[in-house]
């Protein structure tokens, strides 16, 4: 426990910039983004699931699909604060996780970050109900577990910074993708549209909310990671 809660020295600044550049490449280039986006989907659906439980809803299933879409099924009142918060939690989940990860790295808690991520993935695995989703979560969790057990502090630090940068940068793109789809008449049952139906607040306002959270998290994360 002492080792998990202990702190590790910050990596050289050039490593922070290299991991940021690698994460940016994963997000910016479509051929790299398509497979990497699965990690953002895991965070997105995990956000729905966690908030559903936190608001007293009954979480029944999480499904992750090979086209990087996902579905979280919860039961409870069809209207009200609980379902609104559950729907609103998806798009902000990855950026907020990135911001939390950046705060841990900024204070030297690399090991704690890796084990916390592993624990969250294990908890999510219990609720995944399709083969592709199980495979995705298991492989992602295995990567964290292997890095935590089999590598030294330097490799762990590089891995942790790369993951956090990807959550921060990759968390920005999905809201823009949703905005583009809606502009062309796609995604009629998106989170933003469902929220609009529940709250009578236009979907565009919810999109603005998603953009605001992701960009603010990116700015805040940069301050932690780059030590401004």
pLDDT tens, position by position, 48-96: 999 999 999 999 999 999 999 999 999 999 999 999 999 999 999 999 9
> What residue spans define the domains of the chain?
2-226
Distance CA 102, CA 201 (A): 32
Distance CA 192, CA 208 (A): 10
Per DSSP, helices labelled H in the chain are: 2-5, 13-28, 30-54, 81-88, 90-106, 110-125, 131-150, 153-170, 173-183, 191-199, 203-226
Kindly report the pTM of this predicted structure. Answer: 0.95
Identify any residues that bridge with 73 across adjacent strands, giving them in sequence order: 61
Distance CA 50, CA 72 (A): 10
Nearest to 102 by CA among 217, 13, 214, 228: 217
């Amino acid at each position: 426990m002492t080792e998990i809660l202990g702190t590790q020295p910050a990596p050289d600044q050039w490593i922070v910039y290299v991991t940021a550049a690698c994460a940016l490449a994963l997000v910016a280039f479509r051929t790299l983004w398509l497979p990497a986006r699965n990690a953002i989907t895991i965070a997105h659906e995990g956000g729905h699931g966690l908030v559903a439980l936190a608001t007293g809803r009954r979480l029944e299933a999480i499904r992750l699909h090979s086209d990087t879409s996902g579905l979280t099924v919860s039961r409870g009142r069809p209207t009200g604060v609980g379902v609104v918060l559950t729907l609103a939690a998806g798009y902000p989940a990855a950026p907020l996780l990135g911001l939390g990860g950046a705060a841990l790295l900024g204070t030297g808690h690399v090991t704690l970050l890796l084990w916390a991520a592993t624990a969250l993935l294990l908890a999510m695995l219990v609720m995944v109900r399709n083969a592709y989703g199980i495979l995705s979560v298991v492989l992602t969790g295995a990567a964290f577990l292997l890095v935590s057990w089999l590598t030294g502090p330097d490799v762990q630090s590089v891995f942790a910074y790369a993951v956090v940068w990807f959550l921060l940068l990759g968390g920005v793109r999905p809201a823009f993708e949703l905005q583009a789809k809606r502009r062309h008449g796609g995604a009629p049952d998106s989170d933003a549209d469902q929220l609009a139906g529940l709250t009578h607040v236009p979907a565009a306002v919810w999109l603005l909310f998603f953009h605001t959270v992701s960009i603010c998290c990116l700015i805040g994360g940069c301050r932690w990671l780059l030590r401004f």
